[in-house]
Every structure is written in structure tokens, then in C-alpha cells.
Amino acid sequence: LVLALVLLPPGPAAPCSPQPNATRFVCTEPTLRTFPSGLPRTTLAISVEFTALAALLPTALVPVPSLQELHLSSNRLATLSAALLRPVRALRVLDLTNNLLLDLPTDIFSSSQHLQHLVLRGNRLRALRPAWFQHLPRLLWLDLGANALAEVPPEAFQALHSLRSLDLSENLLAALPPGALAGLGALEQLDLEGNRLLTLPPAAFAPTPALRLLFLQDNELRELPSRIFLPLRHLRVLDLARNRLRALELPPRAPGPALELDISGNPWHCGCALRALLRSGAPLLTAAADTRCASPAHRRGQEVAALSGAGNAGC
């Protein structure tokens, strides 16, 4: 019997076994179903991605109190405990991309004052809870794209005074309430691509004077309020492609490189106002071949870029 036991082949090793005294742990084993145990206290970064992980115990991170990065993308996580992040107060990066999260506890980030990058893209979040962001004064990057968010509560991001990039693309937003961007005075990039926006509040961008990149393509915008871009004196990229706009107003022309402007895929009315605006603003039109006039009839199908360089004939 003893001899038989000795001759038996060893059982399969546990996938992704931690190494002693390591500072980084990486596991992309598709069969992994439970969060690895035995992680050394020296661990600073954990990447458990593309696995079958569906749950995390509230105490999963207790053994790694110095953790700074936690990457959990492309797993099967549907819920997280409110206590999960409390032992890792030095956490700076949290990536939960492409999981099955329907909601998060309101106080899940209450001990995460050092968090700088938070990625929740590609989950199933339906409601945006302002309480999530109340304790994140150092957050620089927030990605909420590709969820099922239907609204942004007023002043939801009020506490995020350091935020530089906000991604709300590929959600179900039909409107932004006044004050939706309040508190975001440092914001440089805003992505609202691929929603259902019909219009925007007249003072939508008043709280974001530092904005440099604004993405509004693939919405249902029919018109924009007068002077909506007036606060954006540092804007360098504006994407309005594939909406339903017929008229345009540009941000104030600033010194430096020309504004990169994509207005393709809209039914532009190529009258004197649009032509004069493009000449005076002198933007760099991207996708110019797809930027064509829908009216008046004698201009239909012509490239807007060609008309913007034409003279004042007919005006």
C-alpha cells in the first residue's frame, strides 16, 4: 500500500501559487474560482484577471495591508463586500473592468482616500451613487463607461476636486441635469460618447474650465444651447460626430494649435452662418470627407470643408 501511494502521480498543483516575499502577484488562470490565499504581506500589486472568480470574501485582502494596486478585470464578480477595501488603505489603483456588478455598497470606498484610478467599465451598474465618491479627494481617473446608467444625479462628483478624466461613455444617458459636473474644476477629459443625449444644459461646462478633450459623438443631439462652449478656453479636441446637429457654435479661439473638430455624420445646414464660423474659428476638421451638407438643396452632399474655404458668394 505504501509503495502504491509513492508511485501515484502527484495531484494537480493549485493554480497561480503565491511566491514568498514577492511584491507582485499575477494570475490569469481561466479555471481559478477562489481568490488565492497565502499572499505575502510584502504584496504591493495583485492582478487576478480573466478567471472564473465569482466572489471575494470580505477578509480577502487582510493579509496584504500594503496593497497599492488591485486589478480584477474580466472575472465574474457580481457583488463586493463593503468591508473588502478597509484593510488596504494605501490602495491607489482599482480595476474592476468587465465583471457582473449590478451595484456597489454605498460606503465601499470610505477607507480609500488614496485611490487615484478607479475603473468600473463594462459592468451592469444601473444607478450612480454620489456616496461612492465622497471619500476620494485624490481620484484622478474615473471610468464608468459601458454600464447601464440612465442618469447622473446633480453634484454626484462634487467631492472629486482632483479628477482629470471622467468616462461616462456607452451608457443610457438621455440628459445631464444642471450641476451634473459640479466640483470638477480640474477635469481635462470628458467622454460622453454613445449615450442618448438629446441636448445639454446651457451651463453644463461652466464647472469644467480646464477641459481639453470633449467627446460627444454618437448621441442624438439636435441642437446645443447658445454659448455652451464659452467657458472652455483650453479645449483642444471636440468630437460631435454622428449626432443630428444642423448648426454649430465653437468654443472661443485660443492661442496655440487649432481645435481638432469632428462634426462628421450630422445633417449640416451649410448657410452663411456655418461657413463664417468655420472660417473665423479655423478648426482642423477631421473626417472631412464624411462632413457634408444636408441643406440647402443646392449644397446637399457637398463637403463642408470645401465650403468653409470658399468666398462669400451668396452670403
Q: Mean pLDDT, to the nearest integer, of 308-313?
A: 59
- Does residue 9 carry a pLDDT above 70? no
For residue 107, what pLDDT is reported? 97
For residue 253, what pLDDT is reported? 87
Domain 236-308: give its CATH code. 3.80.10.10
Q: How confident is the model at residue 27 (pLDDT cuts 50, 70, 90)?
A: very high
Strands 213-215 and 237-239: parallel
For residue 255, what pLDDT is reported? 86
- Does residue 12 carry a pLDDT above 80? no
Cell 495531484 belongs to residue: 11
Strands 165-167 and 237-239: unpaired
DSSP state for residue 292 in the 8-state scheme: B
Amino acid at 137: P
- Does residue 310 carry a pLDDT above 70? no
Q: How confident is the model at residue 16 (pLDDT cuts 50, 70, 90)?
A: confident
**Strand (E) or helix (H) holding 278:** helix 272-281
For residue 8, what pLDDT is reported? 45
178: left (phi over 0), alpha (psi -120 to 50) or beta: beta
- Residue pair 117/70 in contact by the 8 Å Cβ criterion: no
Q: Mean pLDDT, to the nearest integer, of 185-190?
A: 98
- Residue pair 45/22 in contact by the 8 Å Cβ criterion: no
In whole angstroms, give the CA distance from residue 249 to residue 276.
11
Contacts of residue 114, defined as CB under 8 A and 6 or more positions apart, other chains included, come to: 89, 90, 91, 92, 138
List, in sequence order, every residue forming a beta bridge with 268; answer none if it has no partner.
Answer: 293
- Residue pair 258/278 in contact by the 8 Å Cβ criterion: no
The closest alpha carbon to 103, from 126, 120, 86, belongs to 126
- Does residue 152 carry a pLDDT above 90? yes
The rounded percent of the chain whose pLDDT value lies above 90 is 84
- Does residue 20 carry a pLDDT above 90? no
Chain mean pLDDT for the chain: 93
The closest alpha carbon to 110, from 128, 132, 92, 125, belongs to 132
User: pTM score > 0.75 for this model?
Assistant: yes
Cell 444642423 belongs to residue: 246
**pLDDT tens digits, one per residue of 290-301:** 999 999 999 999
In whole angstroms, give the CA distance from residue 49 to residue 30.
8
Instruction: Decide which of 170 and 9 is more confident.
Output: 170
Q: How confident is the model at residue 306 (pLDDT cuts 50, 70, 90)?
A: confident
